[in-house]
Structure 1
Amino acid sequence: MNKTSRIFVAGHRGLVGSAIVRRLRADDFSQLLLRSSAELDLRNQGAVEQFFDAERPEAVFLAAARVGGIHANDTYPADFIRDNLQIQTNVIDAARRFGTTKLLFLGSSCIYPKHAPQPMPESCLLTGPLEPTNEWYAIAKIAGVKMCQAYRRQYQFNAVAAMPTNLYGPGDNFNLQNSHVLPALIRKFHEAKLRGDAEVVVWGTGTPRREFLHVDDLADACLFLMQHYEGEQPVNIGWGEDVTIQELAGLIQEAVGFAGKLRFDTSKPDGTPRKLLDVSVLKAQGWAPRIGLRDGIAATYRWFLEHQGDYRSS
Protein backbone atom coordinates (compact mmCIF):
# COMPACT_ATOMS: atom_id res chain seq x y z
CA MET A 1 0.00 0.00 0.00
CA ASN A 2 1.54 3.29 -1.11
CA LYS A 3 0.43 6.94 -1.13
CA THR A 4 -1.40 6.57 -4.46
CA SER A 5 -3.05 3.19 -3.79
CA ARG A 6 -6.80 3.10 -4.28
CA ILE A 7 -8.08 2.52 -0.74
CA PHE A 8 -11.68 1.70 0.16
CA VAL A 9 -12.62 2.55 3.75
CA ALA A 10 -15.92 0.75 4.31
CA GLY A 11 -17.91 2.54 7.01
CA HIS A 12 -15.98 5.81 6.69
CA ARG A 13 -18.62 7.84 8.53
CA GLY A 14 -18.59 5.69 11.66
CA LEU A 15 -16.41 5.98 14.72
CA VAL A 16 -13.68 3.65 13.43
CA GLY A 17 -13.92 4.42 9.73
CA SER A 18 -13.72 8.18 10.20
CA ALA A 19 -10.62 7.75 12.38
CA ILE A 20 -8.99 5.59 9.70
CA VAL A 21 -9.75 8.26 7.09
CA ARG A 22 -8.20 10.95 9.33
CA ARG A 23 -5.09 8.81 9.78
CA LEU A 24 -4.70 8.06 6.07
CA ARG A 25 -5.16 11.69 5.09
CA ALA A 26 -2.65 12.79 7.72
CA ASP A 27 -0.16 10.45 6.02
CA ASP A 28 -0.97 11.84 2.55
CA PHE A 29 -2.78 8.84 1.09
CA SER A 30 -4.54 10.54 -1.80
CA GLN A 31 -6.83 7.96 -3.46
CA LEU A 32 -9.48 7.23 -0.82
CA LEU A 33 -12.70 5.59 -2.03
CA LEU A 34 -15.52 6.65 0.30
CA ARG A 35 -19.21 5.83 0.06
CA SER A 36 -21.97 6.53 2.57
CA SER A 37 -24.54 3.83 3.33
CA ALA A 38 -27.03 5.81 1.24
CA GLU A 39 -24.65 5.69 -1.71
CA LEU A 40 -23.63 2.05 -1.26
CA ASP A 41 -25.63 -0.42 0.84
CA LEU A 42 -23.03 -3.00 1.80
CA ARG A 43 -25.81 -5.47 2.64
CA ASN A 44 -26.71 -5.54 -1.06
CA GLN A 45 -24.49 -8.08 -2.82
CA GLY A 46 -25.18 -6.76 -6.30
CA ALA A 47 -24.41 -3.17 -5.34
CA VAL A 48 -21.14 -4.20 -3.67
CA GLU A 49 -20.06 -6.19 -6.72
CA GLN A 50 -20.79 -3.27 -9.03
CA PHE A 51 -18.75 -0.93 -6.83
CA PHE A 52 -15.73 -3.24 -6.71
CA ASP A 53 -15.94 -3.93 -10.43
CA ALA A 54 -15.99 -0.21 -11.23
CA GLU A 55 -13.50 1.10 -8.66
CA ARG A 56 -11.06 -1.82 -8.22
CA PRO A 57 -9.73 -0.84 -4.77
CA GLU A 58 -6.24 -2.12 -4.06
CA ALA A 59 -6.64 -2.03 -0.28
CA VAL A 60 -9.75 -2.32 1.90
CA PHE A 61 -10.33 -1.35 5.52
CA LEU A 62 -13.54 -3.15 6.49
CA ALA A 63 -14.79 -0.97 9.35
CA ALA A 64 -18.49 -1.03 8.43
CA ALA A 65 -20.75 -2.82 10.91
CA ARG A 66 -23.93 -2.59 12.91
CA VAL A 67 -22.73 -1.85 16.44
CA GLY A 68 -24.23 -0.97 19.82
CA GLY A 69 -24.15 -1.56 23.54
CA ILE A 70 -25.84 -4.16 25.74
CA HIS A 71 -29.35 -2.75 25.27
CA ALA A 72 -29.11 -2.58 21.48
CA ASN A 73 -27.61 -6.07 21.17
CA ASP A 74 -30.25 -7.56 23.43
CA THR A 75 -33.14 -5.76 21.70
CA TYR A 76 -32.20 -6.31 18.05
CA PRO A 77 -30.39 -9.69 17.86
CA ALA A 78 -31.67 -10.51 14.37
CA ASP A 79 -30.54 -7.16 12.97
CA PHE A 80 -27.08 -7.55 14.48
CA ILE A 81 -26.37 -11.01 13.14
CA ARG A 82 -28.02 -10.50 9.73
CA ASP A 83 -26.57 -7.10 8.86
CA ASN A 84 -23.03 -7.91 9.96
CA LEU A 85 -22.97 -11.25 8.16
CA GLN A 86 -24.22 -9.61 4.97
CA ILE A 87 -21.78 -6.69 5.10
CA GLN A 88 -18.63 -8.69 5.72
CA THR A 89 -19.53 -11.55 3.37
CA ASN A 90 -20.25 -9.20 0.48
CA VAL A 91 -17.14 -7.04 0.97
CA ILE A 92 -14.61 -9.82 1.60
CA ASP A 93 -15.84 -11.89 -1.34
CA ALA A 94 -15.96 -8.96 -3.78
CA ALA A 95 -12.53 -7.77 -2.69
CA ARG A 96 -11.06 -11.17 -3.48
CA ARG A 97 -12.80 -11.52 -6.83
CA PHE A 98 -12.06 -8.00 -8.09
CA GLY A 99 -8.35 -7.84 -7.40
CA THR A 100 -7.89 -6.23 -3.98
CA THR A 101 -4.32 -6.79 -2.81
CA LYS A 102 -4.98 -6.66 0.95
CA LEU A 103 -7.98 -6.38 3.27
CA LEU A 104 -8.15 -5.60 6.97
CA PHE A 105 -11.24 -6.91 8.78
CA LEU A 106 -12.21 -5.20 12.04
CA GLY A 107 -13.66 -7.59 14.60
CA SER A 108 -14.26 -7.02 18.31
CA SER A 109 -13.00 -8.23 21.66
CA CYS A 110 -16.50 -9.60 22.34
CA ILE A 111 -15.67 -12.58 20.12
CA TYR A 112 -13.82 -14.14 23.03
CA PRO A 113 -15.55 -16.38 25.63
CA LYS A 114 -17.34 -14.75 28.55
CA HIS A 115 -15.00 -16.42 31.04
CA ALA A 116 -11.83 -16.28 28.95
CA PRO A 117 -8.48 -16.06 30.75
CA GLN A 118 -7.48 -12.49 31.54
CA PRO A 119 -5.84 -10.88 29.69
CA MET A 120 -7.39 -12.59 26.66
CA PRO A 121 -4.92 -13.98 24.10
CA GLU A 122 -5.90 -14.49 20.48
CA SER A 123 -5.67 -18.24 21.05
CA CYS A 124 -8.70 -18.32 23.37
CA LEU A 125 -11.10 -17.79 20.44
CA LEU A 126 -13.82 -20.49 20.36
CA THR A 127 -12.71 -22.08 23.65
CA GLY A 128 -15.91 -21.36 25.63
CA PRO A 129 -19.43 -19.86 25.68
CA LEU A 130 -19.94 -16.24 24.65
CA GLU A 131 -21.47 -13.44 26.69
CA PRO A 132 -25.25 -13.92 26.08
CA THR A 133 -26.08 -10.20 25.78
CA ASN A 134 -23.97 -9.75 22.63
CA GLU A 135 -23.58 -13.25 21.22
CA TRP A 136 -25.38 -12.37 17.96
CA TYR A 137 -22.85 -9.66 17.12
CA ALA A 138 -19.97 -11.82 18.36
CA ILE A 139 -20.98 -14.81 16.22
CA ALA A 140 -21.13 -12.60 13.13
CA LYS A 141 -17.66 -11.21 13.86
CA ILE A 142 -16.25 -14.69 14.49
CA ALA A 143 -17.62 -15.69 11.09
CA GLY A 144 -15.76 -12.72 9.58
CA VAL A 145 -12.47 -13.81 11.14
CA LYS A 146 -12.97 -17.35 9.87
CA MET A 147 -13.93 -16.11 6.42
CA CYS A 148 -10.65 -14.17 6.21
CA GLN A 149 -8.76 -17.30 7.22
CA ALA A 150 -10.66 -19.50 4.77
CA TYR A 151 -10.11 -17.10 1.86
CA ARG A 152 -6.42 -16.95 2.72
CA ARG A 153 -6.14 -20.75 2.71
CA GLN A 154 -8.23 -21.48 -0.38
CA TYR A 155 -7.54 -18.42 -2.54
CA GLN A 156 -4.30 -17.04 -1.03
CA PHE A 157 -6.22 -13.79 -0.47
CA ASN A 158 -4.29 -11.46 1.83
CA ALA A 159 -6.99 -10.80 4.43
CA VAL A 160 -5.96 -10.01 8.00
CA ALA A 161 -8.17 -9.54 11.06
CA ALA A 162 -7.80 -7.15 13.98
CA MET A 163 -9.67 -7.41 17.28
CA PRO A 164 -10.00 -4.01 18.95
CA THR A 165 -10.98 -3.52 22.56
CA ASN A 166 -13.71 -1.05 23.65
CA LEU A 167 -13.34 2.13 21.60
CA TYR A 168 -14.24 5.77 22.14
CA GLY A 169 -13.42 9.17 20.70
CA PRO A 170 -14.60 11.79 18.18
CA GLY A 171 -17.52 10.62 16.09
CA ASP A 172 -18.89 8.30 18.77
CA ASN A 173 -22.58 7.54 19.24
CA PHE A 174 -23.99 9.34 22.29
CA ASN A 175 -27.55 8.01 22.02
CA LEU A 176 -28.56 6.80 25.49
CA GLN A 177 -30.55 3.85 24.13
CA ASN A 178 -27.97 2.15 21.90
CA SER A 179 -24.51 3.56 22.63
CA HIS A 180 -21.62 2.01 24.50
CA VAL A 181 -20.91 2.76 28.14
CA LEU A 182 -18.31 5.53 27.82
CA PRO A 183 -20.16 7.89 25.45
CA ALA A 184 -23.45 7.15 27.22
CA LEU A 185 -21.95 8.21 30.54
CA ILE A 186 -20.48 11.37 29.01
CA ARG A 187 -23.94 12.42 27.88
CA LYS A 188 -25.62 11.38 31.14
CA PHE A 189 -23.17 13.35 33.25
CA HIS A 190 -23.37 16.37 30.94
CA GLU A 191 -27.16 16.53 30.98
CA ALA A 192 -27.27 15.92 34.74
CA LYS A 193 -24.84 18.83 35.18
CA LEU A 194 -27.05 21.12 33.08
CA ARG A 195 -30.17 20.17 35.08
CA GLY A 196 -28.41 20.45 38.41
CA ASP A 197 -29.25 16.84 39.34
CA ALA A 198 -28.16 15.48 42.70
CA GLU A 199 -27.07 12.13 41.26
CA VAL A 200 -26.36 10.11 38.13
CA VAL A 201 -27.53 6.51 37.87
CA VAL A 202 -25.10 4.04 36.28
CA TRP A 203 -26.20 0.61 35.07
CA GLY A 204 -24.96 -2.44 36.98
CA THR A 205 -22.80 -2.86 40.03
CA GLY A 206 -19.83 -0.82 38.83
CA THR A 207 -17.48 -3.76 39.40
CA PRO A 208 -16.94 -5.13 35.85
CA ARG A 209 -13.57 -4.20 34.42
CA ARG A 210 -13.18 -2.78 30.93
CA GLU A 211 -10.32 -1.73 28.70
CA PHE A 212 -10.69 1.38 26.55
CA LEU A 213 -8.72 2.54 23.52
CA HIS A 214 -8.98 5.91 21.80
CA VAL A 215 -10.13 5.42 18.24
CA ASP A 216 -7.24 7.47 16.83
CA ASP A 217 -4.85 4.95 18.40
CA LEU A 218 -6.85 2.17 16.76
CA ALA A 219 -6.58 3.87 13.37
CA ASP A 220 -2.83 4.11 13.78
CA ALA A 221 -2.68 0.39 14.64
CA CYS A 222 -4.80 -0.50 11.60
CA LEU A 223 -2.41 1.32 9.27
CA PHE A 224 0.51 -0.40 11.01
CA LEU A 225 -1.06 -3.83 10.44
CA MET A 226 -1.82 -3.11 6.80
CA GLN A 227 1.81 -2.19 6.26
CA HIS A 228 3.54 -4.80 8.44
CA TYR A 229 1.35 -7.83 9.24
CA GLU A 230 0.69 -10.80 6.95
CA GLY A 231 -0.47 -13.53 9.33
CA GLU A 232 -3.59 -15.70 9.43
CA GLN A 233 -4.27 -15.30 13.15
CA PRO A 234 -6.30 -12.28 14.34
CA VAL A 235 -4.36 -9.60 16.22
CA ASN A 236 -5.62 -7.91 19.39
CA ILE A 237 -5.50 -4.12 19.53
CA GLY A 238 -5.80 -2.55 22.97
CA TRP A 239 -4.17 -0.55 25.70
CA GLY A 240 -3.24 -3.52 27.89
CA GLU A 241 -4.77 -2.02 31.06
CA ASP A 242 -8.35 -1.85 32.35
CA VAL A 243 -10.51 0.02 34.88
CA THR A 244 -13.73 -0.77 36.71
CA ILE A 245 -16.94 0.84 35.48
CA GLN A 246 -17.00 2.75 38.76
CA GLU A 247 -13.50 4.11 38.06
CA LEU A 248 -14.55 4.99 34.51
CA ALA A 249 -17.58 6.86 35.82
CA GLY A 250 -15.34 8.79 38.17
CA LEU A 251 -13.02 9.85 35.34
CA ILE A 252 -15.98 11.00 33.24
CA GLN A 253 -17.54 12.82 36.21
CA GLU A 254 -14.25 14.65 36.66
CA ALA A 255 -13.95 15.58 32.96
CA VAL A 256 -17.55 16.84 32.77
CA GLY A 257 -17.41 18.65 36.10
CA PHE A 258 -20.52 17.03 37.61
CA ALA A 259 -20.69 17.76 41.35
CA GLY A 260 -23.39 15.24 42.35
CA LYS A 261 -23.23 11.63 43.46
CA LEU A 262 -23.11 8.29 41.67
CA ARG A 263 -25.71 5.58 42.19
CA PHE A 264 -25.41 2.11 40.69
CA ASP A 265 -28.59 0.35 39.55
CA THR A 266 -27.84 -3.28 40.39
CA SER A 267 -31.04 -4.45 38.69
CA LYS A 268 -29.38 -3.76 35.32
CA PRO A 269 -27.01 -6.28 33.67
CA ASP A 270 -23.26 -6.05 34.10
CA GLY A 271 -22.29 -8.04 31.02
CA THR A 272 -18.94 -9.80 30.93
CA PRO A 273 -17.11 -9.56 34.28
CA ARG A 274 -13.84 -8.51 32.66
CA LYS A 275 -12.57 -7.81 29.15
CA LEU A 276 -8.85 -7.17 28.94
CA LEU A 277 -6.91 -8.03 25.82
CA ASP A 278 -3.51 -9.62 25.72
CA VAL A 279 -1.71 -7.23 23.37
CA SER A 280 1.70 -8.90 23.48
CA VAL A 281 1.58 -9.97 19.81
CA LEU A 282 1.11 -6.43 18.50
CA LYS A 283 3.51 -5.00 21.07
CA ALA A 284 6.20 -7.44 19.95
CA GLN A 285 5.78 -6.18 16.40
CA GLY A 286 6.59 -2.65 17.55
CA TRP A 287 3.27 -0.86 18.03
CA ALA A 288 1.91 0.77 21.21
CA PRO A 289 -0.94 3.24 21.93
CA ARG A 290 -0.26 6.84 22.92
CA ILE A 291 -3.51 8.42 24.18
CA GLY A 292 -4.15 7.79 27.89
CA LEU A 293 -7.71 7.31 29.17
CA ARG A 294 -7.94 10.53 31.21
CA ASP A 295 -6.71 12.69 28.33
CA GLY A 296 -8.82 10.75 25.83
CA ILE A 297 -12.02 11.24 27.84
CA ALA A 298 -11.36 14.97 28.19
CA ALA A 299 -10.79 15.31 24.44
CA THR A 300 -13.92 13.27 23.67
CA TYR A 301 -16.02 15.47 25.96
CA ARG A 302 -14.73 18.57 24.17
CA TRP A 303 -15.73 16.98 20.85
CA PHE A 304 -19.18 16.19 22.27
CA LEU A 305 -19.67 19.81 23.34
CA GLU A 306 -18.76 21.01 19.85
CA HIS A 307 -21.07 18.54 18.06
CA GLN A 308 -24.22 18.34 20.15
CA GLY A 309 -26.31 19.19 17.11
CA ASP A 310 -24.97 16.18 15.25
CA TYR A 311 -27.51 13.44 14.59
CA ARG A 312 -25.37 10.81 16.35
CA SER A 313 -25.90 12.51 19.73
CA SER A 314 -29.70 12.69 19.41
Structure 2
Amino acid sequence: MFKRATELGIIRQLLPSRSIPPISLYVDDVTLFCHPQPDDIEVVKAILQLFGRASGLHVNFAKSTATLIGCEDDTVMPVIESLGCPIVDLPITYLGIPLTIRRPTTAQLLPLLDKVAARLPIWKAWLMNRAGRLELVKLVLSAIPLHQLLVLAPPKRILRMLKRIQRGFLWAGRAEAKGGHCHVNWRRVARPKSLGGLGVHDLERTGMALRTRWLWFSKTDERRAWAGLGLQFSAEEQAFFFASTYTSIGNGHNTKFWEDRWINGRSVCEIAPLLHACIPKRQRKSRTVVEGLHAHLWARDIHGVLGVHEIDQYLLLW
Protein backbone atom coordinates (compact mmCIF):
# COMPACT_ATOMS: atom_id res chain seq x y z
CA MET A 1 0.00 0.00 0.00
CA PHE A 2 1.24 3.45 -0.86
CA LYS A 3 0.18 6.90 0.17
CA ARG A 4 0.42 8.24 -3.37
CA ALA A 5 -0.56 6.64 -6.64
CA THR A 6 2.60 8.02 -8.26
CA GLU A 7 4.77 6.01 -5.89
CA LEU A 8 2.79 2.89 -6.76
CA GLY A 9 3.28 3.56 -10.46
CA ILE A 10 7.06 3.92 -10.03
CA ILE A 11 7.31 0.61 -8.17
CA ARG A 12 5.19 -1.19 -10.77
CA GLN A 13 7.48 0.04 -13.54
CA LEU A 14 10.66 -0.97 -11.73
CA LEU A 15 9.49 -4.35 -10.42
CA PRO A 16 8.59 -6.86 -13.14
CA SER A 17 5.63 -9.13 -12.42
CA ARG A 18 6.50 -12.66 -11.30
CA SER A 19 4.63 -15.64 -9.95
CA ILE A 20 6.82 -15.66 -6.81
CA PRO A 21 4.93 -15.03 -3.55
CA PRO A 22 5.43 -11.48 -2.29
CA ILE A 23 6.67 -10.17 1.02
CA SER A 24 5.40 -7.14 2.87
CA LEU A 25 7.91 -4.50 3.97
CA TYR A 26 6.29 -2.46 6.74
CA VAL A 27 7.71 1.06 7.18
CA ASP A 28 5.94 3.28 9.75
CA ASP A 29 2.48 3.84 8.22
CA VAL A 30 3.47 2.73 4.69
CA THR A 31 3.45 -0.87 3.48
CA LEU A 32 5.36 -1.90 0.35
CA PHE A 33 4.69 -5.22 -1.40
CA CYS A 34 7.48 -6.76 -3.44
CA HIS A 35 8.85 -10.13 -4.52
CA PRO A 36 11.61 -11.68 -2.36
CA GLN A 37 14.24 -11.45 -5.09
CA PRO A 38 17.60 -9.70 -4.69
CA ASP A 39 16.95 -7.34 -7.62
CA ASP A 40 13.52 -6.32 -6.31
CA ILE A 41 14.78 -5.79 -2.77
CA GLU A 42 17.68 -3.66 -4.00
CA VAL A 43 15.32 -1.53 -6.12
CA VAL A 44 12.98 -0.95 -3.16
CA LYS A 45 15.90 -0.06 -0.90
CA ALA A 46 17.32 2.32 -3.51
CA ILE A 47 13.96 4.06 -3.94
CA LEU A 48 13.61 4.53 -0.18
CA GLN A 49 17.14 5.91 0.08
CA LEU A 50 16.47 8.22 -2.87
CA PHE A 51 13.31 9.43 -1.15
CA GLY A 52 15.30 10.07 2.01
CA ARG A 53 17.90 12.17 0.21
CA ALA A 54 15.22 14.17 -1.59
CA SER A 55 12.97 14.80 1.42
CA GLY A 56 15.27 14.48 4.40
CA LEU A 57 12.97 11.79 5.85
CA HIS A 58 15.29 8.81 6.04
CA VAL A 59 13.96 5.30 6.60
CA ASN A 60 15.24 3.50 9.69
CA PHE A 61 15.41 -0.09 8.46
CA ALA A 62 16.21 -1.37 11.94
CA LYS A 63 12.81 -0.11 13.16
CA SER A 64 10.97 -1.38 10.08
CA THR A 65 9.73 -4.94 9.72
CA ALA A 66 9.45 -7.48 6.91
CA THR A 67 6.64 -10.03 6.74
CA LEU A 68 6.70 -13.12 4.53
CA ILE A 69 3.50 -13.93 2.64
CA GLY A 70 3.23 -17.46 1.26
CA CYS A 71 6.98 -18.13 0.95
CA GLU A 72 9.53 -20.19 2.87
CA ASP A 73 11.84 -18.60 5.42
CA ASP A 74 14.92 -20.50 4.27
CA THR A 75 14.75 -19.34 0.66
CA VAL A 76 14.26 -15.63 1.33
CA MET A 77 16.14 -15.15 4.59
CA PRO A 78 19.42 -14.12 2.89
CA VAL A 79 17.52 -11.62 0.76
CA ILE A 80 15.77 -10.04 3.74
CA GLU A 81 19.00 -9.81 5.70
CA SER A 82 20.31 -7.35 3.12
CA LEU A 83 17.64 -4.91 4.25
CA GLY A 84 18.46 -5.22 7.93
CA CYS A 85 14.78 -5.53 8.91
CA PRO A 86 13.52 -7.90 11.60
CA ILE A 87 11.01 -10.46 10.32
CA VAL A 88 7.55 -10.39 11.91
CA ASP A 89 4.92 -13.06 11.33
CA LEU A 90 1.31 -12.38 10.38
CA PRO A 91 -0.94 -10.95 11.66
CA ILE A 92 0.53 -7.46 11.82
CA THR A 93 -1.23 -4.22 12.66
CA TYR A 94 -1.52 -1.45 10.08
CA LEU A 95 -3.22 1.81 11.10
CA GLY A 96 -4.89 -0.02 13.97
CA ILE A 97 -6.27 -2.82 11.78
CA PRO A 98 -4.95 -6.41 11.96
CA LEU A 99 -3.60 -7.57 8.59
CA THR A 100 -3.79 -11.27 7.86
CA ILE A 101 -4.34 -13.54 4.87
CA ARG A 102 -7.45 -14.93 6.59
CA ARG A 103 -10.39 -13.38 8.36
CA PRO A 104 -9.28 -11.96 11.75
CA THR A 105 -10.17 -14.18 14.68
CA THR A 106 -11.84 -13.17 17.92
CA ALA A 107 -8.50 -13.28 19.76
CA GLN A 108 -6.91 -10.90 17.24
CA LEU A 109 -9.71 -8.36 17.73
CA LEU A 110 -9.69 -8.39 21.53
CA PRO A 111 -7.55 -5.19 21.60
CA LEU A 112 -10.55 -3.42 20.08
CA LEU A 113 -12.68 -4.50 23.05
CA ASP A 114 -9.99 -3.32 25.45
CA LYS A 115 -9.85 0.05 23.69
CA VAL A 116 -13.61 0.51 24.00
CA ALA A 117 -13.69 -0.64 27.63
CA ALA A 118 -10.83 1.72 28.50
CA ARG A 119 -12.98 4.72 27.53
CA LEU A 120 -15.65 3.91 30.12
CA PRO A 121 -15.62 6.68 32.78
CA ILE A 122 -16.68 4.29 35.54
CA TRP A 123 -15.99 6.66 38.44
CA LYS A 124 -17.90 9.47 36.68
CA ALA A 125 -20.84 7.32 35.62
CA TRP A 126 -22.83 7.99 38.78
CA LEU A 127 -22.43 11.74 38.20
CA MET A 128 -23.96 11.46 34.71
CA ASN A 129 -27.65 11.19 34.04
CA ARG A 130 -28.93 8.71 31.48
CA ALA A 131 -29.02 11.32 28.73
CA GLY A 132 -25.33 12.03 29.28
CA ARG A 133 -24.46 8.33 29.20
CA LEU A 134 -26.46 7.98 25.99
CA GLU A 135 -24.42 10.72 24.30
CA LEU A 136 -21.17 9.07 25.40
CA VAL A 137 -22.35 5.73 23.99
CA LYS A 138 -23.22 7.32 20.64
CA LEU A 139 -20.20 9.62 20.28
CA VAL A 140 -17.44 7.48 21.84
CA LEU A 141 -18.27 3.81 22.42
CA SER A 142 -20.03 3.45 19.06
CA ALA A 143 -17.47 5.55 17.17
CA ILE A 144 -14.31 3.65 18.15
CA PRO A 145 -15.17 0.41 16.24
CA LEU A 146 -16.15 2.26 13.04
CA HIS A 147 -12.54 2.43 11.83
CA GLN A 148 -12.29 -1.37 11.71
CA LEU A 149 -15.86 -1.88 10.52
CA LEU A 150 -14.89 0.03 7.37
CA VAL A 151 -12.69 -2.80 6.16
CA LEU A 152 -13.64 -6.05 7.90
CA ALA A 153 -16.64 -7.86 9.32
CA PRO A 154 -15.80 -8.82 12.93
CA PRO A 155 -16.96 -12.18 14.26
CA LYS A 156 -20.44 -12.21 15.79
CA ARG A 157 -18.92 -12.73 19.22
CA ILE A 158 -16.97 -9.46 19.03
CA LEU A 159 -20.12 -7.57 18.02
CA ARG A 160 -22.05 -9.11 20.93
CA MET A 161 -19.31 -8.13 23.39
CA LEU A 162 -19.23 -4.56 22.05
CA LYS A 163 -23.01 -4.36 22.35
CA ARG A 164 -22.80 -5.66 25.93
CA ILE A 165 -20.38 -2.88 26.87
CA GLN A 166 -22.60 -0.19 25.32
CA ARG A 167 -25.76 -1.58 26.90
CA GLY A 168 -24.18 -1.97 30.32
CA PHE A 169 -22.89 1.58 30.42
CA LEU A 170 -26.13 3.11 29.16
CA TRP A 171 -28.41 1.37 31.67
CA ALA A 172 -26.14 0.69 34.65
CA GLY A 173 -23.07 2.90 34.23
CA ARG A 174 -20.65 -0.04 34.04
CA ALA A 175 -19.30 -2.54 31.53
CA GLU A 176 -22.09 -5.07 32.06
CA ALA A 177 -25.72 -4.87 33.09
CA LYS A 178 -28.11 -7.61 34.13
CA GLY A 179 -31.45 -8.06 32.43
CA GLY A 180 -33.32 -6.21 35.16
CA HIS A 181 -31.36 -3.01 34.53
CA CYS A 182 -32.25 -2.86 30.82
CA HIS A 183 -35.48 -0.91 30.38
CA VAL A 184 -35.79 -1.28 26.59
CA ASN A 185 -34.76 -4.03 24.17
CA TRP A 186 -31.44 -3.12 22.53
CA ARG A 187 -32.75 -3.61 19.00
CA ARG A 188 -35.27 -0.86 19.72
CA VAL A 189 -32.55 1.33 21.24
CA ALA A 190 -30.47 0.92 18.06
CA ARG A 191 -33.24 2.25 15.83
CA PRO A 192 -33.12 5.80 14.46
CA LYS A 193 -35.04 8.37 16.47
CA SER A 194 -37.53 8.73 13.64
CA LEU A 195 -38.45 5.05 14.16
CA GLY A 196 -38.82 5.28 17.91
CA GLY A 197 -35.26 4.41 18.92
CA LEU A 198 -32.44 6.34 20.59
CA GLY A 199 -30.15 6.62 17.56
CA VAL A 200 -27.38 4.31 18.81
CA HIS A 201 -25.48 2.59 15.99
CA ASP A 202 -26.35 -1.03 15.34
CA LEU A 203 -22.74 -2.09 14.74
CA GLU A 204 -23.56 -5.07 12.54
CA ARG A 205 -25.76 -3.08 10.16
CA THR A 206 -23.52 -0.02 10.31
CA GLY A 207 -20.51 -2.13 9.37
CA MET A 208 -22.34 -3.62 6.42
CA ALA A 209 -23.34 -0.17 5.21
CA LEU A 210 -19.77 1.13 5.54
CA ARG A 211 -18.27 -1.80 3.65
CA THR A 212 -20.89 -1.46 0.94
CA ARG A 213 -19.40 1.99 0.23
CA TRP A 214 -16.42 0.25 -1.41
CA LEU A 215 -18.78 -1.55 -3.80
CA TRP A 216 -20.36 1.79 -4.64
CA PHE A 217 -16.98 3.46 -5.22
CA SER A 218 -15.80 0.56 -7.39
CA LYS A 219 -18.80 1.16 -9.66
CA THR A 220 -18.74 4.95 -9.71
CA ASP A 221 -15.13 6.13 -9.29
CA GLU A 222 -12.37 4.54 -11.37
CA ARG A 223 -9.79 7.09 -10.21
CA ARG A 224 -9.33 5.42 -6.84
CA ALA A 225 -5.86 3.89 -6.35
CA TRP A 226 -7.35 0.48 -5.51
CA ALA A 227 -9.72 0.40 -8.52
CA GLY A 228 -9.54 -2.89 -10.39
CA LEU A 229 -7.94 -4.88 -7.56
CA GLY A 230 -10.94 -7.20 -7.15
CA LEU A 231 -11.98 -6.50 -3.58
CA GLN A 232 -13.56 -9.36 -1.66
CA PHE A 233 -17.07 -9.01 -0.22
CA SER A 234 -19.33 -11.45 1.54
CA ALA A 235 -22.42 -12.80 -0.20
CA GLU A 236 -24.59 -10.87 2.26
CA GLU A 237 -22.87 -7.56 1.48
CA GLN A 238 -23.15 -8.11 -2.26
CA ALA A 239 -26.83 -9.06 -1.95
CA PHE A 240 -27.49 -5.92 0.12
CA PHE A 241 -25.74 -3.74 -2.47
CA PHE A 242 -27.51 -5.20 -5.49
CA ALA A 243 -30.88 -5.02 -3.74
CA SER A 244 -30.30 -1.32 -3.02
CA THR A 245 -29.00 -0.16 -6.42
CA TYR A 246 -29.61 -0.42 -10.13
CA THR A 247 -27.54 0.59 -13.15
CA SER A 248 -28.33 3.09 -15.88
CA ILE A 249 -26.49 2.04 -19.02
CA GLY A 250 -24.03 4.46 -20.58
CA ASN A 251 -21.43 2.93 -22.89
CA GLY A 252 -21.71 -0.46 -21.18
CA HIS A 253 -18.00 -0.81 -20.40
CA ASN A 254 -18.36 -0.74 -16.60
CA THR A 255 -21.55 -2.77 -16.24
CA LYS A 256 -21.46 -6.54 -15.77
CA PHE A 257 -23.89 -8.30 -18.11
CA TRP A 258 -24.71 -11.21 -15.81
CA GLU A 259 -24.42 -9.57 -12.38
CA ASP A 260 -25.59 -5.95 -12.44
CA ARG A 261 -29.18 -4.74 -12.39
CA TRP A 262 -29.25 -3.02 -15.78
CA ILE A 263 -32.33 -4.47 -17.51
CA ASN A 264 -35.06 -2.05 -16.40
CA GLY A 265 -33.66 -2.15 -12.87
CA ARG A 266 -33.38 -5.94 -12.80
CA SER A 267 -30.47 -8.37 -13.19
CA VAL A 268 -30.27 -11.54 -15.25
CA CYS A 269 -30.31 -13.52 -12.00
CA GLU A 270 -33.70 -12.02 -11.17
CA ILE A 271 -35.13 -12.51 -14.67
CA ALA A 272 -33.66 -15.94 -15.47
CA PRO A 273 -32.18 -17.57 -12.34
CA LEU A 274 -31.94 -21.08 -13.87
CA LEU A 275 -30.14 -19.74 -16.94
CA HIS A 276 -27.87 -17.64 -14.74
CA ALA A 277 -26.78 -20.83 -12.96
CA CYS A 278 -25.53 -22.19 -16.31
CA ILE A 279 -22.94 -19.40 -16.66
CA PRO A 280 -19.39 -20.15 -15.39
CA LYS A 281 -18.42 -17.95 -12.47
CA ARG A 282 -15.50 -16.44 -14.36
CA GLN A 283 -17.77 -15.28 -17.17
CA ARG A 284 -20.34 -13.87 -14.74
CA LYS A 285 -17.68 -11.76 -13.06
CA SER A 286 -15.97 -10.46 -16.20
CA ARG A 287 -18.51 -10.17 -19.05
CA THR A 288 -19.52 -6.56 -19.61
CA VAL A 289 -22.71 -5.37 -21.31
CA VAL A 290 -20.88 -3.98 -24.34
CA GLU A 291 -19.10 -7.33 -24.81
CA GLY A 292 -22.22 -9.41 -24.27
CA LEU A 293 -24.38 -7.48 -26.73
CA HIS A 294 -21.73 -7.53 -29.45
CA ALA A 295 -22.83 -10.28 -31.91
CA HIS A 296 -24.91 -11.82 -29.06
CA LEU A 297 -21.74 -13.02 -27.35
CA TRP A 298 -23.69 -13.50 -24.11
CA ALA A 299 -25.35 -16.61 -25.59
CA ARG A 300 -21.93 -18.27 -25.95
CA ASP A 301 -21.35 -17.97 -22.20
CA ILE A 302 -24.07 -20.54 -21.51
CA HIS A 303 -22.66 -24.00 -20.69
CA GLY A 304 -24.12 -27.32 -19.69
CA VAL A 305 -27.29 -29.15 -20.60
CA LEU A 306 -30.36 -26.92 -20.91
CA GLY A 307 -33.75 -28.23 -19.88
CA VAL A 308 -37.18 -26.95 -20.83
CA HIS A 309 -37.20 -24.33 -18.05
CA GLU A 310 -33.72 -23.05 -18.93
CA ILE A 311 -34.70 -22.72 -22.61
CA ASP A 312 -37.86 -20.87 -21.61
CA GLN A 313 -35.81 -18.37 -19.57
CA TYR A 314 -33.29 -18.07 -22.44
CA LEU A 315 -36.07 -17.01 -24.80
CA LEU A 316 -37.42 -14.61 -22.19
CA LEU A 317 -34.00 -13.03 -21.75
CA TRP A 318 -33.48 -12.80 -25.53
Structures share a fold, TM > 0.5? no
* TM-score normalised by the chain length of structure 1: 0.24
Higher normalized strand content (fraction of residues): 1
In our comparison, the structure showing a higher alpha carbon Rg is: 2
TM-score of the two chains, using structure 2 as the length reference? 0.24
Query: Which has a greater percent of helix?
Result: 2
| Greater RCO, 1 or 2 (C-alpha within 8 Å, sep 6+) | 1
